[in-house]
Structure 1
Amino acid sequence: MTLTVNDLRVEFDGFVAIDGVSLTLEPGRLHFLIGPNGAGKTTLVDALTGLAKGSGEARYRTRDLLALASHRITRLGVGRTFQTATVFEELSVLQNLDIAAGVHRARWRLMLPRRGAPERVAEVMETVGLTELADRPAGVLSHGQKQWLEIGMLLVQDSSVMLLDEPVAGMSAEEREETGELLRRISPGRTVVVIEHDMDFVRRFADVVTVLHAGKVIAEGTAAEIREDAQVQLVYLGEDA
């Protein structure tokens, strides 16, 4: 289901961080948000997930996300990751995923003893490539594996909108490629939005690219179209263009 953002504005003590942004985020496409530091990318995601107060409208499943508390947004199927992975490092991969899956379970069910990996959790571990590490503490995972675990935690929550904040930052070239292929596998039927600075990764995997600058959308299109945009070259791509 499409997430439609209309005239979103976020202001902090007189500073306008997001200035009238409108976006159409459709399922089945990898939609990338790029722009220089301070462009408003993370603030936009914060507003859509209830962590920053915004005006305008963000319509999803007949609801306006801007009017909902963060936990209600999560229950509506909108999930996010952060630049630094937020996993329970002392718990195993399996336990992290099982806890995440519990967001949609009744409280009394969370207290019941568990035997083995629930079917959905096992499926997700296979999808994100962590099955063989199921019993390892999350704290010993590589940076890339922690990011995959976070994505898996959104999958077990049945997040139909996934907002990912720089998921390949600090990854090796091999991990970046595996992450891109993972995003392609999970995008059918989901709305996947990626904040990213790695332009090689953007060119390799993006279906749609939106460029933000000073809180405004200055361009949108394919990676090739964005690369040729004179304003984008001026404010963001520079020599890389």
Structure 2
Amino acid sequence: MNQAALTCTNIEVEFDGFKAVNGVDLTLDSGEVHFLIGPNGAGKTTLVDAITGLTRYTGSVTKDGTELRGKKVHHIARKGIGRTFQTATVFEHLTVAQNLDIAAGSGRSPWHLLRQRRHLPDQVVAVMEQIGLDGQAETAAGVLAHGQKQWLEIGMLLVGDADVLLLDEPIAGMGHEERDRTGRLLHDIAATRAVAVVEHDMDFMRAFASRVTVLHAGAVLAAGTVDEVSGDPRVQAVYLGSVQEQEVADAATA
């Protein structure tokens, strides 16, 4: 049985009287790739913002028995919760190795970080190989392909010892081969961590999800395995679309 890495209870986020997230319960387990899906405006990214301290909310988020609500963003990150954004955030003028070294050295002094290093830490070397960029160690991050930048950002979370990864549309703009490599990377990472993926791509979800939570209008519509969620009539009607609805839409287009 997998161990709960992060537990969200009755999360609510309100903007000017509008509930963007409405009573969401969510548990992320280590050993799983947990997909958060739903139509635009369903509250997926807002939920991630709440967990990581970027948005105020009511309810509870706990990790390892510690309540995270009200804590600063950097305190939450130090508890091992890392996130990516839809556009990769890397130091484009620094090399792949330097990006990872800086991310691994969050506890080191600025002077120590600026010193020329003869050897990279073993952890940086191992993660660089894990994300498939060991051949680009001295390549500036700014010239990497789109998918490689995403892998680098994920690697920066790994060397920072994040054990809960919240990834916002990590395959956006990727080609087929990059998507497959990303999916395999996520499964590799999830062997020892909890991975949550905010995603719209249903084929990617079906191929790589361990569990799925569907959000609609800020609330949990359905949760379970890929087969359970895909077979739920409510999900088909609201997000995936039923066969009948698609036929009507196709006829209207014709």
TM-score, normalization: structure 2?
Answer: 0.91
Which of structures 1 and 2 has the bigger CA Rg? Answer: 2
How far has the Cα of 1:74 moved from its partner?
0.6
How far has the Cα of 1:106 moved from its partner?
4.5
Does residue 120 (structure 1) correspond to residue 100 (structure 2)? The answer is: no
Distance 1:100 1:2 in 2: 22
Does residue 10 (structure 1) correspond to residue 23 (structure 2)? The answer is: no
Aligned to 1:75: 78
| Correspondence for 1:19 among 6, 22, 32 | 22
How far has the Cα of 1:105 moved from its partner?
2.9
Q: Which amino acid aligns with 1:135?
A: E
**8 Å CA contact 1:49, 1:70 repeated in 2:** yes
Q: Tell me, what secondary structure is at the counterpart of 1:68? A: coil
Q: Tell me, what secondary structure is at the counterpart of 2:94? A: coil
Does residue 153 (structure 1) correspond to residue 156 (structure 2)? The answer is: yes
Q: Which amino acid aligns with 1:77?
A: G
Distance 1:20 1:86 in 2: 31
Q: Which deviations, in whole Å up to 9, do the C-alpha atoms of 1:86-136 show, x marking residues without a partner?
A: 111111111111111112334553344311322111110000000111111
Distance 1:108 1:26 in 2: 38
How far has the Cα of 1:75 moved from its partner?
0.6
Q: Tell me, what secondary structure is at the counterpart of 2:69? A: helix
**8 Å CA contact 1:209, 1:226 repeated in 2:** yes
Aligned to 2:220: 217
Q: Tell me, what secondary structure is at the counterpart of 2:59? A: strand
Aligned to 2:96: 93
Does residue 37 (structure 1) correspond to residue 20 (structure 2)? The answer is: no
Distance 1:108 1:237 in 2: 52
Distance 2:210 2:216 in 1: 20
**8 Å CA contact 1:75, 1:104 repeated in 2:** no
How far has the Cα of 1:59 moved from its partner?
0.7
Aligned to 1:228: 231
| Correspondence for 1:137 among 124, 140, 148 | 140
Aligned residues: 241
List gaps (5 residues or longer) in structure 2: 247-254
Does residue 166 (structure 1) correspond to residue 148 (structure 2)? The answer is: no
Q: Tell me, what secondary structure is at the counterpart of 1:66? A: coil
Q: Which deviations, in whole Å up to 9, do the C-alpha atoms of 1:44-80 show, x marking residues without a partner?
A: 0000001111110001022122221000001110000
Q: Which amino acid aligns with 1:48?
A: I
Distance 1:151 1:204 in 2: 20
Q: Post-superposition, which runs of at least 4 consecutive aligned residues in structure 1 deviate over 6 A?
A: none
List gaps (5 residues or longer) in structure 1: none
Distance 2:159 2:107 in 1: 10
Q: Which amino acid aligns with 2:232?
A: D
- Residues 1:84 and 1:127: Cα distance change in structure 2 (over 3 Å): same
- Give the share of equivalent positions with the same residue, in percent: 59
Distance 2:45 2:36 in 1: 9
Q: Tell me, what secondary structure is at the counterpart of 2:21? A: strand
Distance 1:61 1:118 in 2: 28
**8 Å CA contact 1:9, 1:17 repeated in 2:** yes
Aligned to 2:241: 238
Q: How large is the RMSD of aligned CA atoms in angstroms?
A: 1.4
